[in-house]
Structure formats: C-alpha cells, structure tokens
Amino acid sequence: MSTTAASTAAPAAVTPRLGFESLESEVRVDTLPLEGTLPDWLTGSLIRTGPAKWEVGERTMNHWFDGLAMLHRFGFGDGEVSYASRFLQTRAYRSARDTGEIGYSEFATDPCRSLFARVQSMFSPQLSDNANVNLVQLGDRFISMTETPIPVQFDAETLETAGVAYEVPGMLTTAHPHLERRTGGMLNYAAKLGPRNSYRFFHLGPDAEAPEVTASLPTKEPAYMHSFGLSERYIVLAEFPYVVNPLRLAFSGRPYIENYRWKPELGTRFTLLDRETGEAKGPFTTDAFFGFHHVNAYEDGDELVADVCVFEDARIVEDLYLERLRAGKPIARPELRRFRIRPSDGTITHERLVADLELPRINYGRCNERPYRYVWGVGIGDTGWFGRIVKADLESGQELSWSEPGSYPGEPVFVAEPGAEGEDEGVLLSVVLDGERGGSSLLVLDARDLSPLARVEAPHHIPFGFHGQYAR
C-alpha cells in the first residue's frame, strides 16, 4: 500500500514509559481545556476501560494486561468536554486496596500462596473480575469485560460499579462480543473446561438476565482466543496454535497465560458455525499465526472472508510483560491479513493487506458482517511502541497516517456523523500520551483524511488502555 504521513514520527529520545506508570487519582472535571472546534453533532460519551494500577503493596504485577481496571469517561455537549475517572470497584480491586496484597489470579500474575492454599484453589479457583479490556453497551446496560467469566456492570454517567452482569457459561471467554442486528442482543464465546472441553457460543438479549448457549464445539486443547469473527451467516472461530492443556491450568501453580504453549505444527484452524443451526464446517487449516483482534468477516460469493490482525508467532505475549515495556523494549509488528475460505472444497488462502496495524476499528454499525472499505488502527513508531494512527483503504490500497513527535496514540474509536452517506464520514477519538509534556489528551481527527479537528487536555496522564465505546 502507498502511505501518506501527516507529520514526522516521534524521536527515539522520548519513550512511552509514562503510559505504563500507575495512576492513583480518581477525578471529575466539568470542562477540560480545548483547542480547535468540535463538530456540532458530536454529543455523547467516549467511555474506556483499561489497566491503571500495577503496584499493590510491595509487589508489582507482571504484565500490561494485569493492571487494576479504571473507567474513563469523556462527555461531549455544547462544544465542551467533561472528564471523569474511577476505579472499577471489583473484588480484585477491593481486595488489593484493603489488604495491600494481590488477592486474585490475573493474566500473568498470581497471588503469593502457600502450597496448601494453591491446592485449595484448584478446587475453588479465585477467578479475577478485573474487567480491564473492553466494554459494551447492551440495551440500557454498560458492561466491562476481560477474559475471565465475570463481566461487571456499571453506571455510564457516574461510573459507579453495579456488580456482576450475568453468568458466563464457561471458565474462559472473550472481551470482544458482537452485537446482533436482528435482536439487539450480544453474541460471545466461552471455553468450558472439564472432562469434556468445549467452546460454547451464547446469546444474551438486551434485557435478559442469563445467556442462552446456541452452539458448541468440542476441543482437546483450547486455543487462546481474544476475539472471534461474525458474518451474516457464520460465527468465525480462528484457533491459533497457542494452546493449553486444561490439567496444566489446574495443577501447574503458574499464572494463567504461562500455561499456554506455542505449537506451530497445528497451524491456524478456522471453523465456521452456522448462526441458525449451530452446524460446524471445518476446521480449515492454514499457516501458523497468532492474533488478538478480528477486524471483520463477510460472505463473498462462495467464499468466507475473515480479516484478522496477526503476528508471526505468540512472542507478542512475552513482549508485553511490564518489565520489558518500562525498559523501552520494542514489540513485535502486527499486520492485517485477509483469509479466504471456500467451505465447498476446504480451500483456504491468505494475503497481507496492511503491513502494520493493531487495535482495529471499522464503521461497526454499518459494516460489521458485511463488505467494507476502511479500517483504522494504530501502527508501530520509531520507539517500537504504537506511535501512529493509521487509516487503510482496502479497495485502493492507499494508507494515511497521523503522528506527532513524542506522542503515543491509543485505539482510534470511529464515530459516524448522523445521516452520513460515506463509510468514513465521521471522526476518530483517540487518547494520546504526550511523552514530552508528561500528560494525556483526547485527540479528535476527521476520519476521512486524519486532519486534526480538536484536542482536549486531560487533567493527568492516562495509562495505556485497550478499548472503549462511544455512547450517544
């Protein structure tokens, strides 16, 4: 793809370390300093969740994914922007606050336990509810999620925690559900572990209290899956060869992710589950990759197209350990790859679409499950961390990018302009860390050409998070 850059990349002297430093304060500010002009139609809230505190007592958590969750809300109205931040009041957070110790197992950090306590935890595991990865609006409910099966509901205005949202039918799940067009409900997956392991897909209606399992697929060694794809006809399950023996999870005494093993000989296996009948087609096996984020999936004639951000292998998991990140070590470079599957004869091919793209966003309400043209995300800068906002035109092959010296943008959330005709008519909202100034701001870009429209200065630095949603 051809690339047009909006500005120069960050100098190597300014590192992203501040984005991995804990934030202790919870604040509420009615009006933030604003440069530029916001679109008149931009009214609502950008709500994000992410890790904010890695130190508990005398211990530091091991991984970026382990930090205690904090909610951040930027509210838009009358040309002004408000801000509020609040720790998610989970069991994991309250235990750490009240005891000064890590009380629950996180992604790559376990509590310090005696041998007896470890044996006891095998029979009654203390699963964390530290929902620091993503959030979703389901009807009138706002739910924060992580990969353990304890989604947490909260009030979108006050950011007050309301408790467990629903019971997940499994022990491992994703924080990337899909919203169903027809019912307004939510589709997600969970891995049920036991004598017979299985992937279980479930639907939760906008007002439902309990999910309904709609499809199930047996598995011997569950793969690590951060997300899945959805087309109009199929649930798209991509099993990367980063797998776990469930007995190892139970008896190794090691943190959750350290029980997974990279087995490239398995290849990447795609299975398509019919959304109406639950019937499975596949698996269709191709080269070994590792990935966190599906971008989109859709039917194209007799083929299923699945676009996924992937890495060569699972080394990225090691790259994101906190000690490495705070030392300024570079991370593996992601790419957007298109997989084409022909169920009739089992053919599967793949090609690279974008050489450097992660934390992808599309015009979700319009394009999810359907053919699409534009994807936005972040790309690696000169320091080896995310230093650019990228827009890729998948039809023309053109790329645009935005960057500023010493700045590190987060996920660009696309907000469509009401009544827009074009797929890319709207704005991007990205929380940007300014390494030179030592603070964070909310950047508003025109989604069409990545030109800056406004910047809102936050009252403090905001640690690097993962995902958020815009609510009108």
What type of residue is 3? T
Distance CA 339, CA 346 (A): 13
Distance CA 65, CA 292 (A): 13
pLDDT in tens, 133-178: 999 999 999 999 999 999 999 999 999 999 999 999 999 999 999 9
Question: How, if at all, do strands 2-5 and 398-402 pair?
Answer: parallel
Q: Provide the pLDDT for residue 125.
A: 55
Distance CA 423, CA 445 (A): 15
* Count of CB atoms situated within 10 Å of the CB of 59: 15
Sequence spans of domains, the chain: 2-471
pLDDT at 4 over 60: no
pLDDT in tens, 202-255: 999 999 999 999 999 999 999 999 999 999 999 999 999 999 999 888 788 889
pTM of the model: 0.94
pLDDT in tens, 275-305: 999 999 999 999 999 999 999 999 999 999 9
Distance CA 19, CA 378 (A): 15
Q: Provide the pLDDT for residue 253.
A: 82
Output the six-digit token pair for 252.
């190794």
pLDDT at 370 over 70: yes
Q: Provide the pLDDT for residue 186.
A: 98
Q: Is the Cβ–Cβ distance between 146 and 175 less than 8 Å?
A: yes
Q: Is the Cβ–Cβ distance between 63 and 318 less than 8 Å?
A: no
Fold held by 2-471 = Methylamine Dehydrogenase; Chain H (2.130.10)
Q: Is the Cβ–Cβ distance between 54 and 60 less than 8 Å?
A: yes
Q: Provide the pLDDT for residue 6.
A: 46
How large is the C-alpha radius of gyration of the chain? 21
Residue 91 DSSP one-character state: H
pLDDT in tens, 48-84: 999 999 999 999 999 999 999 999 999 999 999 999 9
Question: How, if at all, do strands 268-274 and 280-286 pair?
Answer: antiparallel
Q: Provide the pLDDT for residue 113.
A: 52
Distance from chain centroid for Cα 228: 12
